A and B are shown apart, each in its own frame.
Chain A
Amino acid sequence: MNMLTRNNRLQIAKRGFKDLVGAMLRKPWIWAYLAAGITYLATLLVVSIGGGAWALLYAALTFASFAVIVGVGQMFVITLGPGNVDLSIPATMTLAGTLALKFMETDGALVLPGLLIALGVGLACGLFNFSLILLLRIPPIIATLSSSFLFQSLAIWSNRGLRIKPPQILADFTTGGTFGIPNAALVALLVSILAWFVLEKAIVGRWISAAGQNSRAARLGGVPVNAVRFGVYLSCAVLAGFTGFMLANFSGGANLNMGAEYMLMSIAVVVIGGSSIAGGNSNVPGIWAAALFMFLIVSMLNSYGFGAGVRLILTGMIIVSVVALASKRGHKI
């Protein structure tokens, strides 16, 4: 998202430095970038300078990209307004990764069908979620929660706790890089550019925001609210399935708790990134900053040599303080 900031800067530079600072401070995602930048520098203080700086950024970009892809999906859902959260993301990831890898059986020729299976699983999960929400009128949190129980069971049943290895070609792709940039990050960048375009430039994006700000007003204003919600839940699940596929290939196999941390992660990156948890307001650049930030905190605390306990405590305190500092009054679940 560096390109974006640069573009903004070019437009604003003419109006002087003061305007620039003012404009930047008004961006909801600026705090997340600042926080990410500070943690990056703080980590570099202990990591040896030189190869360390780039290696750290490379690792951060790689790990952040998974959080970015699920985060984009979650952001669409959260934008729909209060009470809209997809808690089935980890289960969908696990199920998609497991089934796809099981199908491919490390056969490099089956990469495309494998990918399609992962996306298809995501699609099916999304359809199931949304049918619970629309047909049974179950609140989204509970609907996605209960369906995640089902998906999780399905994943357990289908792989019986075995670790299934990915095809070599996919393992190489997801762990490798192009022009010095990790492939995973390139894919995530593509996804986020697409998401940014949909949100900011396409009518659908306006519809999503409108539905999130006041769904009754949006409906009366001619927005096909249910169709919008349908699309959003579906794309969130498809993105989760896709991430599950990528992550399973990246980490050398699908296992049952591979998605576990992404439930917290997906919500955290959206909110720390500056999207309103109350819905109706979202931004893509912030997700990158928040995802980098979340990874950098962990590596910072690691490089300072803290144990697991202290690391978790500090992570929690930092998340809470960033949210407390960045939030304006009036945000509610």
Chain B
Amino acid sequence: MNRDHVRILLPVMSLVILLGAVFYMQPRAMSYFGLNLLFNLAVPVALATIAQMMILMVNDIDLSIGAFVSFCACVTATFVQSDPVVGYAILLAAILLYAAMGAVIHARGLPAIVVTLGMSFFWAGMAILILPSPGGAAPGWLRVMMTAKTPFLPVAIIAPIIIALTMHYFVKRSALGVLLRGVGGNEQAMERSGWSVMVLKAIAYGIAGLFCVLAGMALVGLTTSADANIALRYTLLSIAGVILGGGEFTGGRVSPIGAVIGALTLTLAASFLSFLHLSPDWQIGAQGAILILVLAVRLVFTRREALV
């Protein structure tokens, strides 16, 4: 067991414990259909969490993810559905804009937290322009894909596994992933060994943009319609998911598998309460409490790690 394994152990354990509690209280959730219900809203959250992870990996933070995912959802529910070519062009342009934002943030030495804050207004405005009132419709293939009856395991389980493994391979094993983590670890060292940090940051932001687009599309596939505020909570959820999954704010220390598990845990935390027959008033609070609890337990882990 190396440090990475220890790091991933805690998120896995918290998910397993929470899942165990849910199954204990509601054994019927332990089925194909039950699992799908528990986790299907986790797919877009997991995608948004991966996007946030890409940004945290290069030592920045993105406060515009919620607004941007909402925007993507609006585009998907309108243009992609009625006018696929225009729709995909808009989404592609949005991803490029995201990459450009990363480049500008680095080139001008801007605080990412403020730039993304400003951009969140921009995306919110665009979303309202595209879809002034809730509505739209999911493209047929997307609806089919998100609600497909796959054998053995539901989409809600398969999709997060695919996302986690792909990103794990990319971040931990591929050359580009190592470079990006290097930017988070020591930007100057990367610059001096001849890599363009600006290009690398643009790539990181571009990939984040791509995952936000996927998150928006997945969300529309599930809800069949969109509105301009549909995903605003994702900003905070995605940050919480990354940290819950063992990621750090600095140093390029992130874990894609952990991030996806973190997203699943947060989604499950919300359902957990309805099984406890607690009032839905406490739903957000439960997410906060679980976050605090897991981080408190992590403190015990890291202390032990420091001693060894």
Binding site for B on A (CB under 8 A): 82-83, 85, 87, 132, 136-139, 141-143, 145-150, 152-154, 156-157, 160, 264, 267-268, 271-272, 277-278, 307-320, 323-324, 327-333
Query: Apart from A136-B299, A277-B114, what are 7 other A-B pairs with CB-CB below 8 Å?
Result: A85-B113, A142-B243, A152-B285, A264-B117, A268-B114, A268-B118, A320-B119
A contact residues around B285 at 8 Å (CB): 149-150, 152-154
A309 vs B133: C-alpha distance in the bound complex, in angstroms?
12
Q: Quick one: which of A156, A160, A309 contacts B129, CB cutoff 8 A? A: A309
Q: Chain B residues near A314: list those with CB within 8 A.
A: 125
Shortest CB–CB separation between residue A320 and chain B, in angstroms?
4
Asked if A324 and B125 make an inter-chain contact with CB atoms under 8 angstroms apart, the answer reads no
Question: Once the chains are docked, how many angstroms separate the CA of A278 from the CA of B110?
Answer: 10
Q: A142-B239, A329-B109 in contact; A316/B250 too (CB < 8 A)?
A: no
16 residue pairs bridging A and B, Cβ less than 8 Å apart: A83-B250, A137-B299, A141-B61, A142-B291, A145-B236, A145-B291, A149-B288, A153-B282, A154-B285, A277-B111, A309-B129, A312-B124, A316-B119, A316-B121, A327-B111, A329-B109
Closest A residue to B130 by beta carbon equals: A309
Task: Give the chain B neighbours of A145 by CB distance below 8 A.
Answer: 236, 239-240, 288, 291
Report the separation of the CA atoms of residues A234 and B296 in the bound assembly, to the nearest whole angstrom: 21
Q: Which residues does chain A contribute within 8 Å of B112, judged by CB atoms?
A: 333
Are the CB atoms of A138 and B122 closer together than 8 Å?
no
- Measured between C-beta atoms, what is the minimum distance from A43 to chain B in Å? 18
**Chain A CB within 8 A of B227 CB:** no
Residues of A close to B283: CB separation below 8 A: 153
Assembly CA distance A267 to B129 (angstroms): 26
Bound-state CA distance A329–B106 (Å) is 9
- CB of A142 within 8 A of CB of B250, answer no
The complex places the Cα of A320 from the Cα of B113 at a distance, in Å, of 11
Given A313-B126, A323-B111: A333 and B279 interface contact (C-beta under 8 Å) = no
Give the residue name and chain of the B residue nearest to A320 (CB): B118
A150 and B288 form a contact (CB under 8 A): yes
How far is it, in angstroms, between the C-alpha of A146 and the C-alpha of B295 when the chains are bound?
A: 10
**Which applies to chain A's interface (DSSP): helix, strand, loop or mixed?**
helix
With the chains together, A316 CA to B109 CA distance in Å?
A: 18
What is the bound-complex CA distance between A154 and B113, given in angstroms? 28
Q: How far is the CB of B272 from chain A (nearest CB, A)?
A: 14
**Are B121 and A313 interface neighbours, CB within 8 A?**
yes
Pick the residue among A160, A268, A309 that contacts B132 (CB under 8 A): A309
Q: Of B59, B60, B121, which contacts A315 at CB under 8 A?
A: B121
| Interface range on chain B (Cβ under 8 Å from partner) | 35 or more
* Residues of chain A with a CB closer than 8 A to B127's CB: 309
What's the Cα separation between A329 and B107 when bound, in Å?
8
Q: Is the CB of A315 within 8 A of B125?
A: yes
B30: CB under 8 A from chain A?
Answer: no
CA of A138 to CA of B287 in the docked complex: distance in angstroms? 16
Report how far A308 CA is from B130 CA in the complex, Å: 12
Task: Output the least CB separation between B2 and chain A (Å).
Answer: 23
Number of A-B contacts (CB under 8 A): 159
Q: What are the residues of chain B within 8 A of A132 when measuring CB–CB? A: 292
Binding site for A on B (CB under 8 A): 59-61, 63, 104, 108-115, 117-129, 132, 236, 239-240, 243, 249-250, 279, 281-289, 291-292, 295-296, 299
B residues less than 8 Å from A313 (CB atoms): 121-122, 125-126, 129
Say whether, besides A264-B117, A277-B114, A323-B118, A153 and B288 are in contact (CB < 8 Å).
yes
List, in ascending order, chain B residues with CB within 8 A of A332's CB.
Answer: 59, 109, 111
Chain B residues with Cβ under 8 A from A149's Cβ? 236, 284-285, 287-289, 291
B112 and chain A: residue at smallest CB distance = A333
Residues A136 and B128 in contact in the complex (CB < 8 Å), given A316-B120, A320-B115, A328-B109: no
Do B288 and A157 have beta carbons less than 8 Å apart? no
Determine the chain A residues whose CB is within 8 A of the CB of B115 once the complex forms.
320, 323-324
Q: What residues of chain B lie closer than 8 Å to A137, measured between beta carbons?
A: 299
Known: A153-B284, A264-B120, A267-B113. A333 touches B59 (CB 8 A): yes
Residues of B within 8 A of A328 (CB): 109
Expressed in whole angstroms, the Cα–Cα distance for A333 and B250 within the complex equals 10
Determine whether the beta carbon of A310 is less than 8 Å from that of B296: no
In the A-B complex, the 4 residue pairs with the smallest Cβ-Cβ separation, listed nearest first, are A149-B288, A153-B285, A312-B125, A316-B122
A310 contact set on B, CB distance < 8 A: 125, 129
Instruction: List A contacts of B114 (CB < 8 A).
Output: 267-268, 271-272, 277, 319, 323
> Which residues of B sit under 8 angstroms from A148, Cβ to Cβ?
288
Q: Within 8 Å CB of A138, what residues of B? A: 292, 295
**A146 vs chain B, min Cβ distance (A):** 4
For the complex, give the distance between the alpha carbons of A178 and B287 in Å: 45
Q: Which residues of A contact B240 (CB under 8 A)?
A: 142, 145-146
In the complex, the answer to whether B295 meets A156 with C-beta atoms within 8 Å is no
Asked if B128 and A309 make an inter-chain contact with CB atoms under 8 angstroms apart, the answer reads yes
Separation of A145 and B52 alpha carbons in the complex (Å): 15
- Say whether B132 contacts A319, CB under 8 Å: no
Q: How far is the CA of A311 from the CA of B125 in the complex (A)?
A: 7
CA distance A307 to B113 in the complex (A): 27
User: CA of A82 to CA of B109 in the docked complex: distance in angstroms?
Assistant: 14
Q: Let me know if B128 and A146 touch, CB within 8 A.
A: no
Check A308 against B288 for contact (C-beta < 8 Å): no
Chain B contacts of A156 at CB under 8 A? 281, 284
Question: If the complex has contacts A268-B114, A316-B120, are A136 and B296 also in contact, measured as CB distance less than 8 A?
Answer: yes
Are A309 and B126 within 8 A (Cβ)? yes
- Please judge, given known A-B contacts A146-B288, A150-B285, A316-B119, whether A327 and B110 are in contact too, CB under 8 Å: yes
B128:A312 contact, CB within 8 angstroms? yes
Bound: A142/B288 CA distance, A: 10
Among A145, A148, A272, A315: residue with most chain B CB under 10 A: A145
Q: Do the beta carbons of A331 and B110 come within 8 Å of each other?
A: yes
